[in-house]
Amino acid sequence: MMTASWGGLGWLWNKPVAYVFIRPERYTHKFTEGNDRMTLSFYDEKYRKALQLCGTKSGRDLDKIAATGLTPLKLESGAMTFAEARLTLDCKKLFKSPMKEEYFIDNNVYGRWYNDKPGGSLHDIYIVDIEAVYTI
């Protein structure tokens, strides 16, 4: 359960996909690795504080569900989202790859975001199949 803003949506391998970038040191990474599915959920402005907490505190140190007051909701697939989400994408993992320094074509990007490790290590890239979409 973490806030993520880097990523996007697209069309790949004849499927609707999302791609996300998760640093291996995130507690959440254990779950993106240990499960076949992940959910991407989107919230109205009034949940900004909850998203701020989920983006600055680690699940290693506190119970984010209790701290945010968000309401866990199980989807048909068995994956979890939160009742407050205005949009949830229920996704199945298709592809994962670590980023590597030698893959960067523009070294300015590597230098700006990774060389001096301002936010942590190189991301893992996940491409996931959007199997179901839920809105409220």
Ligand X SMILES: Cc1cc2nc3c(=O)[nH]c(=O)nc-3n(C[C@H](O)[C@H](O)[C@H](O)COP(=O)(O)O)c2cc1C
Comparing CB distances to ligand X, the nearer of 14 and 56 is 56
4 counts as binding ligand X under rule CB under 6 A: yes
Matching residue, tokens 């996300």: 20
Please choose, out of 2-10, 80-88, 98-106, 125-133, the segment that lies near ligand X by the rule CB under 6 A: 2-10
121 counts as binding ligand X under rule CB under 6 A: no
For the chain, the distance separating the N- and C-terminal CA atoms, rounded to the nearest angstrom, is: 20
23 counts as binding ligand X under rule CB under 6 A: yes
Q: Are 41 and 85 in contact (CB under 8 A)?
A: yes
What is d(CA 41, CA 86) in angstroms, rounded to the nearest whole number?
8
Applying CB under 6 A, the residues found at the interface with ligand X are: 2-6, 21-23, 26-28, 55-60
